[in-house]
Amino acid sequence: MQGKLKWWQKTLVYQVYPKSFLDTTGSGQGDIPGITSRLDYLKTLGVGAIWLTPVYPSPMVDNGYDISDYTAIDPSYGTMEDMEKLIAEAKKRDIRIVMDLVYNHSSDQHAWFQESKRSRDNAKADWYIWRDAKPDGSAPTNWRGIFGGSAWTWCEERQQYYLHTFAKAQPDLNWENPEVRQALYDAANFWLDKGVGGFRIDAIVYIKKPAFVDGEPDGEDGMVGIHEMTHDTPGILDFLHEFKANVFDGHDIFTVGEANGVAPSELKDWVGENGVFSMLFEFSHMNLNFPTSERWYAAEDWPLSKLKGALTASQRATATNGWYPIFFENHDQPRCVDKFFPADADPILAAKAMATVLLTLRGTPFIYEGQELGYTNVAWDTIDDYNDISSHGQYALAREEGCSHEQAMAGVHRFSRDNARTPMQWSRSRNAGFTTGTPWLPVHTDYRECCVEAEACDEASVLSYYRRISRLRREGEIAQVLQAGTYREVLADSESIYAYERSLDGKTVIVLVNFTTNNAPYDAALTEGAKRIDGSYPDSESGLLRPLEAVIYEKED
Ligand code: TEU
């Protein structure tokens, strides 16, 4: 058991997607002053840290994950003064700002790449991953980039290919070069000097490259997904230990690495005593639809036991060493109401069910913008309606592999990252109060009911539920148990109910959540003598959960 918990282990993190949060200029895009103006709203959720997705200068091919300057602010978001003001105003409210470090790749418009591509012998020639063509002129390997198409792009100027795990506008940096690593550490230290409270480190599993060899094709295009070839390559942790020593060590901050492909059993190398980060976003519970390759049109269904198994494995892996970042949404994922529940689920009950798990597992909860209002997915008619670059890649892949337009669009509707990126719904007024201009992405049609204005004054709303359960997690005796208590899964065999106990010093909190739209009976002995603390229905019946019901009990040993 850990000793005294640190500030970031006791708080909640809120993820802001700045482009969609609040526009103060009428441009149709959110900005930093918009975030500053809503800090008090975030405070009502008990938020102690805000993770901002990238706000650096960027051509926005991948909405800011293609960075052209690591130590400046994109003019569409405001100025460095705006950023300093946000950090200072947040601090006054005991909220820290967490920056996103996108260090696997930069934008192709970054000065480093512009120089690197010019020749094979310039000062930055070796800052990216350059390789000669195969003798027949084709790409060095048959790897498919995560957004589709070859992961290699030919550069006329250098007469070589460069590698890009994501879009061709996102060339991968060469971490083998110590100058590159130092430049990245310097940029992170620049933000520490500005007073940020931590970092989320993007796509970190790809920074170490393996041998450049062809892989077994996984599709008719003769290519293999680059993720399979390059994630978690041996030696990666040596880079990361160096990163930690040069940047993170000695600061009262938290770090959370994004590590798709790392299994719960591997967490001990990444977090805790011998690890490198405070927490790690591993995706074992998020990737259930894609046990092999991520093809949206071919998503597989999963039984509840798979979700429970993944969460339990992560809870166990961080029980005595390291710490878990609890999340069910982010800017790359569909809304959790649509992702984890049956199609006929009532969205309000489903949102509360997920909120219950998010706020009562052991770890630090990450709430994604709009999740606290119970956002649901959108479904636009054509692929041209979608901004998200990966939606275009997935649509093209589906069509190439024989899907009809309808089949390909069904996958996009279900998994598009734009589901998470529609503007924040503040009020019932035009554009949901997000902008006075034309929103860069359409506002969800449900905004009159699903918005802060409507939900703040409704005790039965998803927002009110988040505020209540968040308070339970932060204040009072139950909070101690929810923050520091042990985790033990109960009713493990149930395919309807996810249930667990959190215990500390003779007190146990029992959480029961029905993930189905049917009544779900359970052995009433489990909650015998226990007192109901809260739940998604106004009351509860021992031994029975109604559709999507979530309930929290407390009992003394
Ligand atoms: O996402 C990384 C990412 O896309 C992978 O983890 C992916 O989910 C996995 O390989 C399965 O295919 C981050 C950002 O969150 C995302 O918004 C960016 O587009 C991406 O990196 C590139 O920076």
Write out pLDDT tens, residues 167-218: 999 999 999 999 999 999 999 999 999 999 999 999 999 999 999 999 999 9
Phi, psi of 532 (to 5 degrees): -70, 130
Distance 543 CA to ligand 1 centre (A): 42
pLDDT in tens, 11-40: 999 999 999 999 999 999 999 999 999 999
CA distance 186 to 180: 10
Report how far ligand 1's centroid is from the alpha carbon of 278 (Å): 20
- 346 given a catalytic annotation: no
Whole-number Å distance between alpha carbons of 84 and 81: 5
- Nearest atom in ligand 1 to the alpha carbon of residue 225 is 12
Residue 258 annotated among the catalytic residues of the structure: yes
Tell how far the Cα of 258 is from the centroid of ligand 1, in angstroms: 8
Q: Is the predicted pLDDT of residue 87 greater than 80, yes or no?
A: yes
Mean pLDDT estimate for the chain: 97
In this structure, the residues whose C-beta lies within 6 A of any atom of ligand 1 are 62, 65, 102, 146, 166, 202-203, 227, 258, 260, 294, 331-332
pLDDT of residue 3: 59
Q: Name the closest-CA residue to atom 23, ligand 1.
A: 65
Pocket test of ligand 1: the residue of 99, 146, 205 to mutate, having most ligand atoms within 8 Å of its CB, is 146
Q: Is the pTM of this model over 0.95?
A: yes
Nearest-atom number in ligand 1 for the CA of 62 is 19
What is the CB neighbour count within 10 angstroms for residue 531?
10
Mean pLDDT of 366-373: 98
**Residue 490 scores a pLDDT above 50:** yes
Both structure tokens of 509: 């909190």
Encode pLDDT of 251-263 as tens digits. Answer: 999 999 999 999 9
Give the per-residue pLDDT at 219: 86
What distance in angstroms lies between residue 146's CA and the mean position of ligand 1's atoms? 8
Structure confidence at residue 18 (pLDDT)? 98
Does residue 330 surpass a pLDDT of 70?
yes
Residue 346 contacts residue 548 (beta carbons within 8 Å): yes
Q: What is the 3-state secondary structure (H, E, C) of 295-361?
A: CHHHCCCCCHHHHHHHHHHHHHHCCCCCECEECCCCCCCCCHHHHCCCCCCCHHHHHHHHHHHHHHC
Phi, psi of 188 (to 5 degrees): -65, -40
As a whole number of angstroms, the distance between CA 210 and CA 234 comes to 8
Which residue is catalytic, options 82, 258, 282, 369?
258
pLDDT of residue 2: 47
Residue 1, pLDDT > 60, answer: no
Alpha carbon separation from 161 to 131, 146, 150, 371 (Å, rounded): 5, 17, 11, 41
**Residue 146 CA, closest ligand 1 atom number:** 12
